[in-house]
Amino acid sequence: MAATDFKDYYAILGLNKTASADEIKKTFRKLARKYHPDMNPGNKEAEARFKEVNEAYEVLSDPEKRKKYDQYGQYWKQAAATPSGWPGGGATNVDFGGVDFSQYGSFDEFINALLGRAASSGGSSSSRSSKWNYSSQRTGTGGPTGFGGFEDFAGYENRSAGGTRDTEVTISLTLGEAFRGTSKRVATGEVSIPAGVKTGSKIRVKGKGQIDPYTKQQGDLYLKLEVLPHAFFQFEGENLICEVPITPDEAVLGASIELPAPEGMITVKFPAGMRSGQSLRLRGKGWPKPKKDERTDLLVKVAIVPPKELTAVERECYEKIKANRTFNPRSTLNQMGL
């Protein structure tokens, strides 16, 4: 990755590196709502900002990804893709920006050299040279020294163990893509994602993995799915949940309110007398059940929101209600003392 391609995720969210997880979450929700395509129809700039905000939150909300990002900066993806912190850890198809790594023994050593820091204790340069030369001399494919050599050597180990090269790829989906199902392009071709997947879902695609250079057999592709957070809908177990603000008069008198559902806008009747925190259960309006023509429920949580500013007429009406009100929600508090 070139330095000019580096994205400052903290700057995108308008936060500094000391921001807490709660601050990151609150800021994301605010920005996601502001730039959501539904709130900015046809606005390409807002759509681009929405994608940037989602990308930033995906990294900074994950403790492991955030740690790598804070430690390695623009090279965080490469570090995260190598379990041992270096291409010898088994990563494949990782873009290292054309840098020759044969002179470094570990990813930390490369970062130290890049930043001019003193290297931490480790093996001698002669032992590292021997290690890299060994990987360049193994073969069958005539691969070069460095990252390519380790990739081929790892393939040799896979061949002796099972004869194929299975591949795991993490794919991020918007909530809409996960709800409806979609197709995504990966290195080995187009793959289909069924409707109803969730974060943590895994899909096996037979014959879409890497080709073993020795047996010429193609392994399987395993898709590990992540569903990006949404500004309005969240998961609660198998169901979806959302919070809908209503006014005091709607809470007292009841109201029919138009609100978003996964498939589009719907009208929901809120009965009179609802309190903040109460929920309505809309059966069959939630998340698709995989391999079934059914959906879970949508829970609509109520939040009563009083107006911050009142017109003269509104204030007069509220004053009349106050003067004539007979209901006292605190009538039993005098019995609660110790």
How does pLDDT run across 299-317, given as a tens digit for each residue?
999 999 999 999 999 999 9
Ordered domains of the chain (ranges, CATH): 3-91+102-161 (1.10.287.110), 167-227 (2.60.260.20), 234-324 (2.60.260.20)
Binned at pLDDT 50, 70 and 90, residue 38 comes out as: confident
Residue 242: phi, psi to the nearest 5? Answer: -145, 160
| Residue with more model confidence, 78 or 164 | 78
Q: Vertex 297, ends 296 and 301: CA angle to 5°?
A: 150
196: closest CA among 128, 296, 122?
296
What pLDDT does residue 292 have?
Answer: 78
DSSP string, 28-41: HHHHHHHH-TTTST
pLDDT given for residue 64 in this prediction: 87
Q: If phi over 0 gives left and psi between -120 and 50 gives alpha, with beta otherwise, what is residue 123?
A: beta
The per-residue pLDDT for range 205-240, each reduced to its tens digit, is 888 787 777 777 888 889 999 999 999 999 999 999
- Residue 82, pLDDT score: 56
| Partner residues linked to 281 by β-bridges | 299
Q: Which two tokens stand for residue 261?
A: 């559902």
Which of 299, 266, 303 lies closest to 283, judged by CA?
Answer: 299
Question: Per-residue pLDDT for 63 more than 60?
Answer: yes
Between residues 107 and 273, the one the model is more confident about: 273
DSSP characters over 15-30:
--TT--HHHHHHHHHH
Is the alpha carbon torsion for 226, 230, 236, 239 positive or negative? negative
pLDDT at 147 over 90: no
How confident is the model over 278-305, as a mean pLDDT?
93
* Of 264 and 80, the one with more pLDDT: 264
Range from 58-62, 163-167, 304-308 carrying the lowest mean pLDDT: 163-167
Short-list 53, 112, 54, CA closest to 79: 112
Dump pLDDT digits (tens) for 109-121. 655 655 555 544 4
CB atoms within 10 A of CB 230: 21
How does residue 88 score in pLDDT terms, banded at 50, 70 and 90? very low
pLDDT at position 103 is: 54
Tokens describing residue 160:
């002796």
Q: What is the CA radius of gyration of the chain?
A: 28
SS3 50: helix
Q: Which of 24-28, 154-158, 161-165, 245-249 has the highest mean pLDDT?
A: 245-249
Q: Which of 148, 153, 78 shows the shortest CA–CA distance to 108?
A: 78
Are 57 and 24 contacting, i.e. CB atoms less than 8 angstroms apart?
yes
Mean per-residue pLDDT of the chain: 77
Residue 269 in tokens: 């009747």
Mean pLDDT score, 274-287: 94
Q: How far apart are CA 68 and CA 58, in angstroms?
A: 13
pLDDT at 244: 95
Tell me the C-alpha distance between 265 and 73, whole Å. Answer: 41
Tokens coding 234: 């969240």
Q: Residue 248 and residue 26: Cα distance in Å, rounded?
A: 25
Q: Is 275 exposed, middle or buried (0-12, 13-18, 19+ CB in 10 A)?
A: exposed
Higher pLDDT, residue 40 or 144: 40
85 vs 148, higher pLDDT: 85
